[in-house]
Each structure stands twice: as C-alpha cells, then as structure tokens.
Amino acid sequence: MLPFDLSLYLVTDRSLSLGRTLSEVVEAAVKGGVTMVQLREKDCSGKEFYELAMLMKTLLKPYKVPLIINDRLDIALACDADGLHIGQDDIPYPIVRKLMGKDKIIGLSVENIEDTIEANNLDVDYIGISPVFSTLTKTDTASALGLDGVKEITRISKHPSVGIGGINQSNAKDIIHAGADGISVVSAIMSANDPSLAASELRKIVNESKNKK
C-alpha cells in the first residue's frame, strides 16, 4: 500500500475550477501541500472518468500523492488507482476490499455514531466524517455533524479520520482540534484564485493545529 497522509485531502469538482483544467488546479494544489487527491466527478461518462483518472494518476505519481477514486469501483480497478472512497449507499465494503485487494487504500464515509461503530468492525484504512458543516458542494448528505459530532466520532473510531463538508481556512483548525487527522476540501482549493497558495495556507493551519493537540 502506498503510504498516505490525510492532512490535506483534495476532492475534485471541475465545475468549481473557474475555467481552469483539472490538471492545472490539482498540480498547483499538490505543489502547495495537498497530501491526497480524490477524483470525484459525477457528471461525466465512464470513458471520460477513466481518461481523467489515468491523467490524474500520471500527474500525481512523481509527487507520490495517492489517487483515490470516488464511488466508482470499475474506474478504480480499470486505472489501478491507489484507492477508492465509498459512501454508505455504495457497493458494500467487503466486496470492495475483495476486488481491490489488501494493498489498496479504502475510505468509508460515516454520517453518524452508528456508521462509525459499524466501521470499527471493518478493516477500512480511514473514515470520512461527513458532513461536518453544511455545504453547497455536496447536497445529498446527512445533517451537519458539527464539531461535537467530530469529537464523538473520533473518540470512538479506531480508524484515522478526515473531516469533510464546508471546511475552509476559517474553521480548519477546529476540525483538527476536534480530533480529526486531516481535512478534506473542495471549493476552498478548486475555486481559489491561487490553488497552490490556498493549499499551502491550509496545510500550514493543519500542521500547526496538529502540533498543538
């Protein structure tokens, strides 16, 4: 398994890239300090998703930043991605692990305490605490957990965790102080005028917050 660091986890959304190519934004973000990239593109065909995944894999390899595919097990297998992130309504985890193999990174979204307890019985590599705050980026999520929810979930979870949902420079430190190992962002980097600078500033906040834990 490729070593991974949840500190600053970028989830892509081309619709938020201000007209720039996905490669432009992702490479700038990685240079700025992004530690993981999840390719999440809901509005494209299987062929286009596969081509984007291969492009991202080639781009990220020199930086040793893992490429995680969102939801699409077929795409993850086809491009031999570093991992897959699944939600509660996606293909069941045991099937994903069986098909992906033990050397791939598999993340699972948890939306409440019950999900977290169930995840403790699985050998997932990390959990995504979703959503921490309400967000316009992803509208099909459960109610916002808030910082208290993050504290409770990280207290009982045996897995590393990353918070996602409405996270930006103003609240990033709060997520880490609440117990998460990293933050996952979409618009805070994808829509930034300078994705590299935005990533650098977020990574600095995360690192400093971890040192004060």
Q: Could you list the active site residues?
A: 40, 109, 138
57 is in an annotated binding site: no
187 is in an annotated binding site: yes
Supply φ then ψ for residue 11, to 5 degrees: -110, 125
71 is in an annotated binding site: yes
Show the tokens assigned to 70. 């969102």
Q: Residue 136, Cβ neighbours under 10 Å: how many?
A: 8
Place of tokens 């490729």: 2
17 is in an annotated binding site: no
39 is in an annotated binding site: yes
166 is in an annotated binding site: yes
Q: Are 29 and 22 in contact (CB under 8 A)?
A: no
88 is in an annotated binding site: no
90 is in an annotated binding site: yes
84: left (phi over 0), alpha (psi -120 to 50) or beta: beta
Where b means 16+ CB within 10 Å and e means fewer, 16-34 reads ebeeeebeebbbbbbebbb
Range list of β-strands (E), the chain = 8-11, 36-39, 67-70, 83-86, 105-110, 126-129, 161-164, 182-185
CA distance linking residue 168 with residue 165, whole number of Å:
9
Which of 8, 17, 148 lies closest to 65, judged by CA?
Answer: 8
41 is in an annotated binding site: yes
42 is in an annotated binding site: yes
Before 94, cis peptide (omega within 30)? no
101 is in an annotated binding site: no
72 is in an annotated binding site: no
168 is in an annotated binding site: no
Annotated binding-site residues for Mg(2+) read: 71, 90
Residue ranges of the binding site: 38-42, 70-71, 90, 109, 135-138, 166, 186-187
